[in-house]
Structure 1
Amino acid sequence: MRPDAVAVAALVILLFPMGYFLLASPAFLLVKLDLPPVTQLLRGMFDIQFRMIGVTGVLATVAFVIAGRPLFAMAIGAMAGLAIWGRGRFMRRMDDELSARDAGDTEAVRRLRRLHWSGMLCNATLVAALVTSIPYVAMSAQAGPA
């Protein structure tokens, strides 16, 4: 398999967990976040999302480096790095809000919902950027390394 084809495949594989999250996360808008089982599921979904973007992002970065596409490699690498770094920060904020909710803070549910919206918006933005870049990756794959 050509390195360019591997880069295109890596981009598509990277889109799978992001697409799943894009479709699954709005379902949590239909339920109250003051229910512990619901927020446990939401927390788990965000946790695995960050992990999947980190892992698939690193693999996609390597694929783009091998394909000789340094700009794509830097962009995907930055995304993977932000997912790896941001996971700890995001999950800490979510845990803090869950603890505040459990301690009786009535505003914690509103902050959890805002956190949920911000996570969905970030993912949707990244998905849009990656989907928009597919024709450029495919074109550069057809043209061959520069």
Structure 2
Amino acid sequence: MPDNIALFATIILLLPMFYLLLAAPAFLLVRLDIVQVTQLLRGMFDSYFVALAIAGGIGTIAVLADGRPVLGLGIGAIAAFALLSRRWLLLRMDAHIRERDSGDAAAVRRLRWLHWVGMLSNAVQVGGVLACIPQIAAVS
């Protein structure tokens, strides 16, 4: 029988990841020089990182309490990465938004680059977590 707590923690961790995986590409279809679009994009990344950090923190505690320290470290690393990525991405995004608002035309291109970086980072994390599911589900 698979370890239900570990699988549950992994699925909960994947929820915000799949949200961003599905929602972020829609922003490729709109221009980032529209204020409301960049506000929505920034809010999406902000809420994603917060949700991922919370899900990762809860998942870490759950699997550590279940006696799976290696998995706990892995989930904790994802949560920590989310917190660090949030700070890194949002600081740069805010700076580029200010630059765009002050008339720098190249700031929109840098915003788009950050958008791609955020999507790529999420895709790599999703791939890593999905690749680990067979080991997580294996009988201990």
- Separation in 2, partners of 1:21, 1:90: 14
Aligned residue for 2:3, secondary structure, equals helix
Count the aligned residue pairs: 140
Query: What RMSD, in angstroms, separates the aligned Cα atoms of the two structures?
Result: 1.5
**Residue type at the aligned position of 2:124:** T
Q: TM-score, normalised by structure 2?
A: 0.95
Q: Does 1:11 align with 2:6?
A: no
Cα separation, 1, equivalents of 2:66 and 2:3: 5
Match of 2:117 in 1: 118
Q: Normalized against structure 1, the TM-score is what?
A: 0.91
Q: How does 1:93-112 map to 2 (within 5 A)?
A: 93-112=92-111
Find the counterpart in structure 2 of residue 58 from structure 1. 57
* Structure 2: gaps of 5 or more residues: none
Q: Percent identity over the alignment?
A: 49
Structure 1 unaligned blocks of 5 or more: none
What is the match of residue 133 of structure 1?
A: 132
Distance of 1:111 and 1:12 partners within structure 2: 33
Equivalence for 2:82: 83
User: What is the correspondence of 1:36-55 to structure 2 with a 5 Å cutoff?
Assistant: 36-55=35-54
**Hey, which bits of structure 1, 4+ residues long, moved more than 4 A?**
none
CA contact (8 A) 2:61 2:72 kept: yes
Deviation at 1:5, TM superposition (A): 1.0
Distance in 2 (CA, whole Å) between partners of 1:115 and 1:31 is: 15
More displaced stretch, 92-101 vs 79-88? 79-88
Change (3 A) 1:131 1:66: same
